[in-house]
Structure 1
Amino acid sequence: MDVKLIEPISRKLNHLGRAYLNLVAKKVENLGISRYYYALTYICYHDGKLTQKALANELGKDKSIIVNIIDTLSSEGFVYREVNPADRREHLLKVTEKAKKAVPKIIEAFEELNNSISAHVSDEEMKIFNSVLLKMGDNIKPLTVSETNNETKP
C-alpha cells in the first residue's frame, strides 16, 4: 500500500506552543499561577472594564471555557467578578493585589522568551511569520464555520 506521510501544520505549532508555555510556567512557578498567563495579563490590562463575554470574544474562546479560566484564576487568588452596575446581568473582571504584583513578572517572562525564541530571526522574517499566521487564521475561519454547520467546502 502506498501511503504518503503528511505532517499537519498544527503539529509544529502545538509543539512550539507547549514548549513555550512550559518555559513560562517554569519562569513564574513561584507566583502561584498554574496557567492562563495571557488571560490574566489581559484582564489586568483592562482591570474592571472587561466582562466575561468580552474576554471570550477577545481570546476567541467559548463562554464555558472562559468560566473555567476565571474560576481557576479566582481560586488561585488573582481575579474576582463584580456585578456591572450598568447591567446587572454582566460581571466585570477585576484583579487582586496578588495579580497586580504577579502580572509584571509574567510580562517579563513573555518578553524574555519572545526575545530568546526569536533570536537570529530578523524583523522582516518576524513580519512574514506574523503575516502568514494571520492569513492562515483567516483561511481557517470559514472552514470551522462550515464544519460547525456540517457542510463541506473545497
Structure 2
Amino acid sequence: MSEEVFQAIKDDSPLIAWIHNISLNQQKYMDSKIKDLDLGHNVRYIMYIHDNPKCSQDDLVNMFCQSKGNVAKVLKKLEDEGFIKREINPTNRRKYMLMTTDKGNELVPKYRQISKEWERKVGINNEDGEFKKRLIEIAFKANKINNKEVYYENRI
C-alpha cells in the first residue's frame, strides 16, 4: 500500500495514527450493532465502572486522561440514561463511588460479545496476546509520562 492513502494516513504514518484509525473503525462497528444507545466512546466509562465498582470520578479522569469537566459531563449523561449510579463514599463524604446499574450490567457482556465478533472479523485472535500485552505496556508508559496514576497496571 506504499503511497496509497488510507483514511488520511499512509503506511509511513506514526503507529498511533493507525491505532487511532483502528479504534475509530471498531467504534463505528460497535455503534452499528448497538444503534439505539448512541454511546460512542462513552461506553468505555461504563466498562471501567463495571470492572472497578466503587471507583471515583478522579479514577476515570486519571484512567482516560480527560478533564474533570469532561468526565463529569459524561457521567451525568450515563447516570441520566440509567447506566450508572453514584453513592456517597462513606469514608470521604465529598466524593462519590460509581457503580453500574442493572441496565449497565446488561450492556457490558453484550458489548464484549460484539467487540470479540469485531476482533474476529478483522483478524485479531489468541495468537496476538503478546502484541496486546505490548500495547498495554505502551499505554501504561504513556500515562506514566503524563504523571498519571494507572489503574490497569495489574492487568499486564
With normalisation by structure 1, the TM-score equals: 0.70
- Separation in 1, partners of 2:76, 2:123: 33
Matched, 1:66 2:71: yes
- Separation in 2, partners of 1:98, 1:58: 23
Structure 1 unaligned spans of 5+: 146-154
What residue identity is the alignment partner of 2:116? E
- Separation in 2, partners of 1:139, 1:85: 33
- Which residue in 2 is equivalent to 1:42? 48
What residue identity is the alignment partner of 2:103? K
What residue identity is the alignment partner of 2:57? Q
Secondary structure in structure 2 of the residue aligned to 1:10: helix
Deviations 1:67-92 (A, max 9, x none): 12212212322112221122101111
Structure 1 residues 103, 8: CA separation in 2 closer, same or farther (over 3 Å shift)? Answer: same
Instruction: Pick one of 74, 80, 91 that aligns with 1:75.
Output: 80
What residue identity is the alignment partner of 1:115? R
Secondary structure in structure 2 of the residue aligned to 1:83: strand
CA displacement at 1:22 relative to structure 2: 0.6
Percent of pairs with identical residues: 21
Deviates more, 1:102-111 or 1:15-24: 102-111
Secondary structure in structure 1 of the residue aligned to 2:82: coil
Deviations 1:41-99 (A, max 9, x none): 2212333x211112333344333332122122123221122211221011111222222
- Separation in 1, partners of 2:67, 2:138: 21
Structure 2 unaligned spans of 5+: 1-9, 148-156
- Separation in 2, partners of 1:142, 1:19: 27
Matched, 1:17 2:23: yes
Matched, 1:105 2:110: yes
- Separation in 2, partners of 1:43, 1:138: 19
Could you say what the CA RMSD is over the residues aligned between the two structures, in angstroms?
Answer: 2.7
Matched, 1:94 2:96: no
Structure 1 residues 80, 137: CA separation in 2 closer, same or farther (over 3 Å shift)? Answer: closer
Tell me the number of residue pairs that the alignment of Structure 1 and Structure 2 aligns: 136
Secondary structure in structure 2 of the residue aligned to 1:50: coil
Q: Could you say which structure has the larger radius of gyration?
A: 1
